């Protein structure tokens, strides 16, 4: 399935007055944003972290060879026990090698703690899409297939010391209840 990524202006038009707008377009640490908006504790649950070949579309975005292994990290950002955001992070080996020590020190804390404190890092692009549960990277998480058929998601390319990494974040409907309260 090909994802139709939108720039911010087009995504804003499609979203209309949806409450999700603020969190979807927030360009800082999502964890910090949710901590300031939600009344419950925000935590990260790592589903898996392993060396794999990224999907072909991810290789294209990261401009890496399709056979190059990357650290693929799947995680949930949660409010107490309620899942709010599913994240898929792709860290190519050359990027990982530069930040291995910092990643190791993070443990199960959100990657944003590193990305938004790294002085030689920056977010290059952010794109948005409404995707269906048939999307290739969602097939890895069966819980998502049982929730609903469409999700808003965003993808961000970050550079640390001129090396790329990709983060895809999928927003579950429960996030609206959290940021409204």
Q: Does residue 149 carry a pLDDT above 80? A: no
Give the pTM: 0.88
For position 54, what pLDDT does the model report? 93
Tens-place pLDDT, residues 17-46: 777 888 999 988 888 888 888 888 889 999
Q: Does residue 101 carry a pLDDT above 80? A: yes
Residue 134 pLDDT class (50, 70, 90 cuts): low
Q: Does residue 179 carry a pLDDT above 90? A: no
Q: Domain segments of the chain: what residues? A: 8-83+100-174
Q: What is the DSSP string of the chain?
A: -----B-HHHHHHHHTT-THHHHHT--S-HHHHHHHH-SS-EEEEEEEEEEEPPPHHHHHHHT--TT--EEEEEEEEEETTEEEEEEEEEEEHHHHHHHHHHHHHHTTS-THHHHTT-TTEEEEEEEEEEEETTSTTGGG-HHHHTT-SEEEEEEEEEEETTEEEEEEEEE-THHHHHHH-
Pull the structure tokens for residue 98. Answer: 């530069």
Tens-place pLDDT, residues 61-91: 999 998 899 999 999 999 988 889 999 999 9
Q: Domain 8-83+100-174: state its class.
A: alpha beta
Least confident of 16-20, 132-136, 139-143: 139-143
């Amino acid at each position: 399935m090909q994802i139709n990524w939108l720039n911010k202006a087009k995504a804003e038009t499609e979203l209309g007055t949806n409450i999700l707008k603020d969190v979807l377009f927030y360009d800082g640490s999502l964890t910090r944003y949710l901590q300031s908006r939600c009344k419950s504790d925000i935590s990260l649950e790592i589903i898996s972290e392993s060396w794999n070949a990224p999907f072909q579309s991810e290789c294209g975005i990261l401009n890496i060879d399709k056979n190059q292994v990357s650290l693929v990290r799947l995680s949930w950002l949660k409010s107490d026990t309620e899942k709010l955001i599913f994240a898929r992070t792709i860290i190519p080996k050359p990027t990982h090698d530069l930040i291995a020590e910092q990643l190791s020190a993070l443990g199960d804390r959100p990657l944003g703690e590193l990305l938004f404190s790294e002085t030689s890092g920056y977010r290059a692009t952010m794109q948005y899409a409404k995707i269906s549960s048939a999307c290739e990277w969602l097939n890895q998480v069966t819980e998502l297939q049982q929730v609903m058929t469409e999700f808003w998601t965003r993808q961000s390319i970050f550079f640390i010391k001129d090396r790329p990494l990709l983060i895809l974040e999928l927003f579950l409907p429960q996030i609206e209840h959290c940021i409204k309260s």
